[in-house]
Amino acid sequence: MNNNTYYELYRSSSVGVTLTDTLDDLIMQGRIDPQLAMKVLSNFDRSITEILSEKVKANLSFKGHLDTYRFCDEVWTFLIKDVTFKLQNSQLVHTDKVKIVSCNSKKPGEA
């Protein structure tokens, strides 16, 4: 059995929220046990992390003004204002603010 733990970052994505809501509904209807729902969420955390790291190869660059940053429990959080993203096709996208959360992608014991 795999004892690696994965971050729960993607549970707040639209897919993660929908999965969580569906699991809550199934628990309320008595169709699944809460332990099964937790196992499904744990598998979701692992799967989404692995798929994104293996399949997504897009690059972009961005410029903005760093408003706040912090490092807590091995997680960096950056709040950036007045951000312009430059996509691979040179398209520019602007937004007022962005929150970036960065976690170590290496598994325990990896160099």
51-109 pLDDT per residue, tens = 988 998 888 899 999 999 999 988 899 999 999 999 888 899 999 999 999 887 665 56
Specify if 3 maps to a domain.
no
Q: What is the pLDDT of residue 78?
A: 97
This prediction has a pTM of 0.68
Note whether 36 and 70 are same-domain residues. Answer: no
**Band of the pLDDT at 14, cuts 50, 70, 90?**
very high
Count the domains in the chain: 2
Specify if 110 maps to a domain.
no
Sheet holding 92-103, edge to edge: 60-72, 75-87, 92-103
**Band of the pLDDT at 1, cuts 50, 70, 90?**
very low
CA distances from 27 to 15, 22, 98 (A): 18, 9, 35
Specify if 111 maps to a domain.
no
Report whether 46 contacts 63 (CB < 8 A). no
